[in-house]
Structure 1
Amino acid sequence: MSFKRFLSTASLVCTALFASANGFAIDYVQNALARENISLNGQWNRIIDPYENGYYNHRYQPHTTEGYFKNAKMKTPSDLIEYNFATAEKIRVPGDWNTQEEQLFLYEGTVWYQKDFALTKQADKRYIVHFGAVNYQAMVYINGVKVGSHEGGFTSFQFDITDYVKRGENSIVVKADNRRERNQIPTVNTDWWNYGGITRSVAILELPATYVEDYTVQLSGSDATAIVAKVALAGSNVKQGGSVKVSIPELNIQEVITLNKKGEGQITAKANPQLWTPEAPKLYDVTIAFNGELIRDRIGFRTIAVDGEDILLNGKSVFLRGISIHEESPLHDGRAWNEDDARTLLRWAKELGCNFVRLAHYPHNETMVKMADEMGLLVWSEIPVYWTVMFEDKAVYAKAEKQLTEMITHDKNRASIILWSMANETPSHKARLTFITKLAKKARSLDDTRLITAAMDTQGNTANGKIIDDPLVAAMDVIGVNSYCGWYGGTPESCGNILWESKYNKPVIVSEFGAGALQGLHGDKDERWTEEYQASVYEHNIAMLEKMTALRGVTPWILKDFRSPRRPLPDIQDFWNRKGLLSEQGIRKKAWYLLNAYYSKKEESSN
């Protein structure tokens, strides 16, 4: 019997009132930067603090009155204050510190950020500070008072600062700490750069006293001619109820949602939307009106399903022609974060022939997934449960679940996302199986409208090749396979003869294969690091792919070269992972053209 589930655009869960089993309350203003806001992007003051003297005293106890977070000023000539944000060096936000200052290139530790801002505070407003991301731990202070902390370098977070801001001049201080620790997600050992700092946008949201905190707009799971809209309020007078107006003018939807005493409500409206596809990425203007606030979004509607070894997009089998992407800018050093970065990276993917991207190995910025919606690229979105996290530790699991919940909460209304990925290249053992299976169950409880996957490098060997036999596959809808034949094992020529078997009747995505090459280095196809060697690996791996009967997608590693401290080889790597099909400057290598030709044939055969 085939396994078939039709899934639609976004979660049915209103997360504003959700509290996970591990105690992390989820309070998140959906589509934050579409609200009235004051941008805090730009120049901030910064103090490097490797010993954390700005947080701990000489007894290694947290300061209560003298920490850097107080942003103290000398009042008399005899005052002893050993820091001064006003005369400190400047740093750009958003932006990592590693690529802004040479002395911080390899720095891991604490940097304090400070910025003054003016606010015309109104008594009938609430003020929420929004951070797109801070890597890895953030403590946030307003006018010397701690308002909250957040752990995790790749998801956005917010704090209500209404009671801490004042009319006129205010100060915000952020303690950002990117030190790697064994009990973090990700753990100490990764193959990407540990960019520190406030890496995405910062803004102060100015909201009504009671406001729409969360909303979900999606196709009905049981009826593709109906759209379900759910909303949840937050703020001062949630219990008073009221109504919210939801409009999708192009579909002639003008609906009023009557709210209960919890501030929640939903409606179902009949509609016949044009379904979103990579070829025609139709988005509808959606507005949500309440209490004087008008929230605007652009949302697409589509279904995604598995049927045996097939992936069905809007009920039709689809082959996912993809590429993996790290969140590194194609236009400047360091983290990608803005629209130009996203548009360039995704344009390169489309020029390669892709209809699909794997955003590895962590949730990417909001602009990236919104641009994927607009440009017509399906998305695999992942949390950084990467390699050897501490699977036996309940606290580590809680951190992973928190990041998973944040990822789904933030991006649930994006039509492009079809896969939530639980992990990458984790070792097969009982504790890991329990850990990731529990994550998959959690993901489904938050969002039963998308497919669940993980990238696995734990395949067994057979006389003729490989067998997919990892027990973790039982918890997945789609099997992700990482295989580096020709680079970490075997010769390129040996790859084409490998035959794959699977114990599971499920679709397979080869989520990684590839080889390193220094762009512009040429030689024999058997010579490592040459473009010819990389091209040979692609040629023979593509021959292998053609023999995989369950194959329904590919995301080779990777679109462009990216920084990694694991890659020190002088004059070749120089702290760059060279597996990109493009150099760090965006110059195409020989393997680019081989993959492009393969994708052109796959696209022609599907038409």
Structure 2
Amino acid sequence: MKYLNLVWLIAFSIISNLSKAQESIKTDLLQNIQGRNTTSLNGMWEIIVDPLENGYYNHRYKAKPDGYFINKKMESPSDLIEYDFDSDWQISVPGDWNTQFDKLYYYEGTVWYKRDFHFNGNSDEAAYLYFEAVNYEATVYLNGEKLGTHVGGYTPFQFDVSGKLKEGENFVVVKVDNKRKREAVPTINTDWWNYGGITRSVHLITVPKKHIFDYSIQLANNNPDLIEGWVTVKNGKEGEEVAISIPELKKSVTAKLTDGKASFSIKAKPVLWSPSNPKLYEVNLSLGNERITDRIGFRTIKTEGAKIVLNGKPVFLKGISIHEEAPFKTGRVVSVEECRILLTWAKELGCNFIRLAHYPHNEAMVREAEKMGFLIWSEIPVYWTVLFDNESTYANAENQLKEMISRDKNRAAVILWSVANETPEGEPRLKFLTQLATKARELDDSRLITAALDTQGSREGAKFIEDPLGKVVDVIGINNYCGWYAGAPGDCADIKWATDYNKPMIMSEVGGGALYGLHGEKNERWTEEYQADVYKNNIEMMRNIDFLAGASPWILMDFRSARRHLRRIQGDFNRKGLISEQGMKKQAFYILQDYYLNENN
């Protein structure tokens, strides 16, 4: 009894500390930047590589007031200034430094970015400096003034720069640091490349002083004939009206602001979004002279026992996992065209579902996938052994969860929020992930919660799902590499699965590696024949799981990983892709394609 009391005291202490950490989290994201007046700051930026952080610290390791962020220039021939952005390297933004400079291929540390831009001001406008993502820690300065810091490499952030911009020439400096840290999210050990830099687009966004800031529009959870939502307004007045219209449905409504937020509902019978008919409606929001247009789909998603039910009908998720790795050239995905190439391959494979691993992918990927009819699993990089008993680690993870949900809450294609991948069982982990799941439901109760698990027990000759996190999530993801990390491919077909949870299961990872063009017998590892045999036998195994609701095998395309040291086979690539980094399809691609196109799942 004393031991149990001690456990509960420790648990209460952890939860109390986590709650204190959450109080400091302020996620504040402008919705639908595509629908705004934006000036792109993409293009060539000047950079200074600074492994010792001389641009920030002096020789006593104290922060200095005249660091690189003030962009100091020589005023006389005798001035001692030991940096000059304008004569240093240039780099393309968006993009990573690892694949743009051979010397920075393995580099992890600080790089300073600088960009000059012209601004024609308007006293009636507000302005935001918006970053779609910077990996990993970004400290941003405008004209030498610090705007703030953002931590997390895969979610957007912004700064209100109203009144801070000068008429005419301005400059922005970003201190980017991608050093891996034990307390970070993800933690120090991962199986993907730690691409450093301003990896996604940068925008200067101008809006009226009084403007629509955020909104949520979707079908009511328990009434498919009711569209409901809310709109928040910055600098609005109590009682002012926001107009919402859906022209194709011939519906419009006005809602009054109360404490900066206007809630509304619309009776309607929209055509429901689905993979076979990814219907999107034009939705207009108006406030005074401001008008914003978005394209939004409406659908319902829930579980019934071991089934995932989309729009009232069970759906089997024929999926594939995808990393945000650019086809053909590798490096971070930086364009809509690269997103479309990856999604076109997934469509050719026969997929109706994609798992965007192991972090939120860029917004273009989500929007393009929605247009093409893919259901989406989106997750935060709580991966392997993050510090589950660390207060700041939890605060970081929750903030990334909030930013992911804030950006994509209006995308009908997203049906699953994932809170973790392959995390080891234990009480701190269970509390950490339970609290994340609770927060996700608090922020968005219209989607399902999942996590990818990799620990299974055995019972009566079957693999048994007993992870206590199964009680917390709505859909159980299972990563299982029979034939690759355990057993031979031929051992897999007859494996039986069992569970005490009456919930859907997705085989979230399954597969094996192969070097494209390497051939041999099916028992020769790294050959296409071996990988194909892994898929054949694991597909037979999945056919016999009566609570299986889908699969997202690992992975669509080979991707860079510094863990992969077998030089003549891997060469810094995880070779589990069905397609090589140069776009060549391996034999296993066609094995999975046949399963998806010809099975009546």
- Report the TM-score when normalising by structure 2: 0.96
Residue correspondence of structure 1 range 172-321 to structure 2 within 5 A: 172-234=172-234, 237-260=235-258, 262-321=259-318
Q: Distance in 2 between matches of 1:462 and 1:496?
A: 18
Residue 33 of structure 1, CA deviation: 3.0
Q: Distance in 2 between matches of 1:322 and 1:160?
A: 39
Q: Deviations over 1:414-471 (max 9, x none)?
A: 0000000010000001110111011000100000000000000011123423100001
Q: Distance in 1 between matches of 2:290 and 2:565?
A: 52
Q: Distance in 2 between matches of 1:267 and 1:489?
A: 54
Q: Distance in 1 between matches of 2:23 and 2:56?
A: 28
Whether the 8 Å contact between 2:21 and 2:391 is mirrored in structure 1 is no
Match of 1:328 in 2: 325
Whether the 8 Å contact between 2:21 and 2:395 is mirrored in structure 1 is no
Q: Deviations over 1:263-310 (max 9, x none)?
A: 211211111100000000000011111232221110000000000111
User: Unpaired runs of 5+ in structure 1?
Assistant: 1-18
Pair 1:403-2:400 in alignment: yes
Pair 1:430-2:431 in alignment: no
Residue 222 of structure 1, CA deviation: 2.6
Q: Distance in 2 between matches of 1:26 and 1:37?
A: 21
- The amino acid that maps onto 1:364 is H
Residue 162 of structure 1, CA deviation: 1.5
- The amino acid that maps onto 2:26 is A
Whether the 8 Å contact between 2:329 and 2:582 is mirrored in structure 1 is no
Q: Describe the SS at the equivalent of 1:586.
A: coil
Q: Distance in 2 between matches of 1:440 and 1:27?
A: 20
Aligned residues: 582
Residue 337 of structure 1, CA deviation: 2.8
Whether the 8 Å contact between 1:45 and 1:90 is mirrored in structure 2 is yes
Q: Distance in 2 between matches of 1:87 and 1:370?
A: 39
Q: Describe the SS at the equivalent of 1:135.
A: coil
Match of 1:21 in 2: 22
Q: Deviations over 1:1-56 (max 9, x none)?
A: xxxxxxxxxxxxxxxxxx99332112211012321011000000000000000011
Q: Deviations over 1:476-516 (max 9, x none)?
A: 10000000000001000001111000011000000001000
Q: Describe the SS at the equivalent of 2:115.
A: strand
Residue correspondence of structure 1 range 150-549 to structure 2 within 5 A: 150-234=150-234, 237-260=235-258, 262-549=259-546
Whether the 8 Å contact between 2:130 and 2:205 is mirrored in structure 1 is yes
Q: Describe the SS at the equivalent of 1:305.
A: strand
Identity of aligned residues (%): 55
Residue 330 of structure 1, CA deviation: 1.2
2:598 pairs, out of 591, 595, 601, with 601
Q: Distance in 2 between matches of 1:465 and 1:240?
A: 61
Whether the 8 Å contact between 2:330 and 2:559 is mirrored in structure 1 is no
Q: CA RMSD in A?
A: 1.1
Q: Distance in 1 between matches of 2:239 and 2:179?
A: 45
Residue 73 of structure 1, CA deviation: 0.6
The farther-off stretch of 558-567 and 324-333 is 324-333
Residue 83 of structure 1, CA deviation: 0.5
Q: Distance in 1 between matches of 2:289 and 2:552?
A: 45
Q: Describe the SS at the equivalent of 1:198.
A: coil
Match of 1:38 in 2: 39
Match of 1:7 in 2: none
Q: Describe the SS at the equivalent of 2:183.
A: coil
Q: Deviations over 1:361-408 (max 9, x none)?
A: 000000000011100000000000000000011111111111001100
Q: Deviations over 1:203-242 (max 9, x none)?
A: 10001111111011111123211111310011xx334441
Whether the 8 Å contact between 2:557 and 2:581 is mirrored in structure 1 is yes
User: Unpaired runs of 5+ in structure 2?
Assistant: 1-19
- The amino acid that maps onto 1:254 is S
Match of 2:64 in 1: 63
Whether the 8 Å contact between 1:331 and 1:341 is mirrored in structure 2 is no
Match of 1:115 in 2: 115
Q: Describe the SS at the equivalent of 2:23.
A: coil
Q: Describe the SS at the equivalent of 1:238.
A: coil
Q: Distance in 2 between matches of 1:277 and 1:371?
A: 14
Moved over 4 A (4+): none
The farther-off stretch of 67-76 and 247-256 is 247-256
Residue 331 of structure 1, CA deviation: 4.2
Change (3 A) 1:252 1:20: farther
Q: Distance in 1 between matches of 2:200 and 2:21?
A: 26
Q: Distance in 2 between matches of 1:372 and 1:22?
A: 34
Q: Distance in 1 between matches of 2:320 and 2:131?
A: 28
Whether the 8 Å contact between 1:484 and 1:515 is mirrored in structure 2 is yes
Whether the 8 Å contact between 2:308 and 2:314 is mirrored in structure 1 is yes
Q: Distance in 1 between matches of 2:401 and 2:61?
A: 33
- The amino acid that maps onto 1:256 is T
Whether the 8 Å contact between 1:359 and 1:380 is mirrored in structure 2 is yes
Q: Describe the SS at the equivalent of 1:30.
A: coil
Whether the 8 Å contact between 1:241 and 1:263 is mirrored in structure 2 is no
- The amino acid that maps onto 2:245 is S
- Report the TM-score when normalising by structure 1: 0.95
Whether the 8 Å contact between 1:187 and 1:386 is mirrored in structure 2 is yes
Q: Describe the SS at the equivalent of 2:563.
A: coil
Q: Distance in 1 between matches of 2:53 and 2:390?
A: 27
- The amino acid that maps onto 2:210 is T
Whether the 8 Å contact between 1:22 and 1:398 is mirrored in structure 2 is no
Whether the 8 Å contact between 2:273 and 2:279 is mirrored in structure 1 is yes
Q: Deviations over 1:110-168 (max 9, x none)?
A: 00000100001111111100000000000000000000110000000000112321100
Residue 177 of structure 1, CA deviation: 0.5
Whether the 8 Å contact between 1:193 and 1:564 is mirrored in structure 2 is yes
Match of 2:49 in 1: 48
Q: Distance in 2 between matches of 1:529 and 1:214?
A: 49
Whether the 8 Å contact between 1:36 and 1:207 is mirrored in structure 2 is yes
Q: Deviations over 1:52-87 (max 9, x none)?
A: 0001111111111x2000001111111111101111
- The amino acid that maps onto 1:338 is S
Q: Distance in 2 between matches of 1:457 and 1:240?
A: 51
Q: Distance in 2 between matches of 1:244 and 1:76?
A: 56
Q: Distance in 2 between matches of 1:584 and 1:390?
A: 33
